[in-house]
Amino acid sequence: MQDRSSSSLSRRNFIRLSGMTGAALTIGYFMPAIGQGKPAILSGTQAAAAGIDLTAWVQIDTNGQVTIFSHRAEMGQGAYQSIPQIVAEELEVDLTKIKVAFAKGHPSKYGSQITGGSSTVRGSFKALLNAGATARELLIAAAAANWQVVASECYASEGMVYHRPSGKKAPYGELVEKAATLTPPLQVPLKARKAYKYIGKPVPRLDNPDKINGKAVFGIDFTLPGMKYAVVERSPRFHGKIKSVNDKKARAVKGVIDVIQVEMPVFSGTRHGIAVIADNTWAALKARKLLEIEWEDSGIERVSTELLYQRMQEDLAKPGLTQKALGDPLRFFDKAEKKLELVYETPYQSHSAMEPLNCTAYYTEEKIQVWGPIQGPDWIQSDLATRFNIAPEKVEVSMTFLGGGFGRKAFTDYPAEAVLISKAIKAPVQVLWTREDDMTQGPFRPGVVYGCKAVLQGDQVNALEVKLSGQNMDHQWAPNPDKLDYNRSTTEGWLEPFFESIPNYRFADLPTESPVPVMWWRSVYSSTNSFAFESFWDEMAIAAGKDPLAFRKAHIGSDHERYHKLIDKLKEVTGWDKRSKGYGVAFAECFGSIIGEVVQVSRKGDKGISIDKVTVVIDCGWYVNPTIIQQQVEGSVIMALGAATVHATNFKDGKAVETNFHQYKLPRLPETPEIEVVIMENEEKAGGVGEPSLPPLAPALCNAIFDLTGKRIRKLPFSLTNLPDV
């Protein structure tokens, strides 16, 4: 357990101890107001003189200790490693001698801090490179000034500055006070990729040792002096209210301090519950079971899985809201000789991170403080400032490590609930969610039904229509949403060059009405879209009498060399042209990266299937650490495998059915296939890594099963041990 004094570096102390006092060198970005200029690199001394609140990236103290602020959350995806690895490269320091501190949430100081959309590296790597290089050049300039030599005769390496002609050297710690008085150069030289020592190399992760020895502080580990513990009994039906409560037995449990009603904001609505506050978690959980609550939910639709999918299926008959279109595909369908019309179905899913939701909050009249596993500290700061009518600078949001997030921990509901309870009891409180709370309350990944139609002319797609029937996440934010506002993610996951090769197409959204709260889930709509897109591409290829991979390649123009290289690499590493039965392929393009996957399957028993190997070729452009990429790809594949073949969230009588892992089962080690990861080498812009490899797995798997058995699977999840009769 760890208290707040050592869990993260206080930003106030960071600035006080940094170059603003001359005791160290601080290099960071000044983020001007939107529309008022570009970000500029400043030293701490410059910022202090100008009265500027600096976004601090790099600090070097007089002992030579380098501290780097990580402005993004670490939830297993590797930000805690990749950010210092980028800075260390240009700063010329030993990566193992760098300390990392989580930055507090503040969008005007740090820009976007949301850890989502696979955006950490691709959104900030240039700024990080420049920050490290600027600090390096200032230290070289300081050494040159001390030695009264020309700076071009000096160079930096391993935390030291050297003078080539004389052999003089000085550690960074001896130079920081002088460097802090110098003006950072407007432009700094950056290394060519071939000169990198750390970037592009499989460097061990900095967070591994503390996670192994138990020193790493996750949200559930965090403590404060005088902190209380709370659990909340929430309506089992979404949007239910409290009609009556008898808390006499709960209050009698030893350690219970209070029982109060709490209202938690969820999108534009409110979730009601009864909070039990106690001296310890066990007392709170024990007392919660003794609550006698009557819920008012008579006006709430008691949906079931069957009802939801019937509604989505029926909606496919409607024209829908067009998101993207070219030509007039509808006029070709009636008279077409060779056409396909198929439906694909994907399930609702729980996020089910290994660390359930939790948050610690302390509300006072002067400020609001929040600590926990938070994916978007800037979002939380903004939300709490608005909700509690307090200035943003009086809201401090501190990140801990996250035991998985997948989008759920970017939401604002659970921190707001913790602050509300702290305000009510006038004390710091940690609100804990059990696994059952986490799985049944949502929000969930939305289930979707896709209607796909195509007209083939020879071996080319002449007309295409894809309809997405499912809940539109954006419609939940307003009490009365614009129902004509289409889902802007209808084409997410689709390979961009395909648009150029199809003369007539239309992608449309059919927003489904449902009380079930839904939100982004790893890879967002790509996780469901790609199953329909890439399954349909396979079926179109077979109908055209073409090899599935060659058919896709034929619909990508020759000027798109990057895509062709990826396809050729996938063919090469899988031996595609010499393959036997049981191979399936699929692609996805999302979050700035392009992914190709091949799944190999074989028979296991009469109706079972064994997944023998998954090969993933990823083109994420400029990248930092191949080991992290491999880890993220493997995690994405396994998560996608679970969503395709093992688990789903179902609803009955207006409630979520699956409450824990005995029902919502996860893939086990014996069920995990061999996974080969191949990274494309090029100088393209940095793309995402944590999410893009998830979408192609399900369609590649189902395409492989068809290749082996002749059975098409168009509905997820399905059983590998007992294939459905399709």
Q: What is the pLDDT of residue 72?
A: 85
Instruction: Give CA–CA dist 380/413, Å, rounded.
Output: 9
CB 159 within 8 A of CB 93: yes
What residues in the chain have per-residue pLDDT under 50?
1-22, 31-36, 52, 54
Instruction: Give CA–CA dist 269/285, Å, rounded.
Output: 26
CB atoms within 10 A of CB 435: 15
- All residues at 6 or more sequence positions from 654 whose CB lies less than 8 Å from its CB, including other chains: 237, 238, 297, 300, 301, 302, 303, 515
Q: Which helix (H) or strand (E) holds 563?
A: helix 561-574
Q: What is the pLDDT of residue 114?
A: 83
Q: What is the pLDDT of residue 126?
A: 87
Instruction: Give CA–CA dist 152/136, Å, rounded.
Output: 13
CB 130 within 8 A of CB 27: no
Q: What is the pLDDT of residue 30?
A: 54
Question: Is the link from the previous residue into 443 a cis peptide, with omega within 30 of 0?
Answer: yes
Q: What is the pLDDT of residue 520?
A: 95
Nearest in space to 189 (alpha carbons), one of 122, 132, 123: 132
DSSP classification of residue 502 = -
Question: Is the link from the previous residue into 717 a cis peptide, with omega within 30 of 0?
Answer: yes
CB atoms within 10 A of CB 315: 19
What is the sign, positive or negative, of the torsion defined by CA atoms of 456, 460, 465, 467?
A: positive
Q: What is the pLDDT of residue 605?
A: 82
Separation in Å, CA 507 to CA 429, 470, 554, 596, 698: 47, 14, 21, 23, 21
Separation in Å, CA 423 to CA 275, 426, 551: 13, 5, 61
What is the sign, positive or negative, of the torsion defined by CA atoms of 252, 255, 260, 265?
A: negative
3-class DSSP string for 250-308: HHCCCCEEEEEEEEEEECCEEEEEEEEEECCHHHHHHHHCCCEEEEECCCCCCCCHHHH
What is the sign, positive or negative, of the torsion defined by CA atoms of 98, 102, 107, 111?
A: positive
Residue type, 54: L
Please state the separation of Cα 322 from the chain's center in Å.
Answer: 27
Q: What is the pLDDT of residue 321?
A: 96
CB 158 within 8 A of CB 93: yes
Helix (H, G, I), strand (E, B) or coil at 612: strand
Nearest in space to 123 (alpha carbons), one of 522, 672, 686: 686
Residue 220 is encoded by which pair of tokens?
Answer: 């559930």
Q: What pTM, to 2 d.p., does this model score? A: 0.92
Q: What is the pLDDT of residue 17?
A: 34
CB 484 within 8 A of CB 462: no
Residue 281 is encoded by which pair of tokens?
Answer: 């978690």
Q: What is the pLDDT of residue 23?
A: 53
pLDDT, tens only, 317-364? 999 999 999 999 999 998 888 999 999 999 999 999 999 999 999 999
Alpha helices in 118-231 (DSSP H): 120-147, 172-179, 208-213
Q: What is the pLDDT of residue 108?
A: 66
CB 618 within 8 A of CB 633: yes
Instruction: Give CA–CA dist 517/539, Å, rounded.
Output: 33
CB atoms within 10 A of CB 389: 6
Domains of the chain (ranges, CATH numbers): 4-212 (3.30.365.10), 219-298+360-432 (3.30.365.10), 316-348+444-709 (3.30.365.10)
Instruction: Give CA–CA dist 600/40, Å, rounded.
Output: 50
Residue 70 is encoded by which pair of tokens?
Answer: 């990580």
Nearest in space to 250 (alpha carbons), one of 286, 200, 297: 286
pLDDT, tens only, 121-162? 887 888 889 888 988 999 999 999 999 999 999 999 999 999
Q: Exposed/middle/buried for 225, CB within 10 Å: 0-12, 13-18, 19+?
A: exposed
Q: What is the pLDDT of residue 284?
A: 98
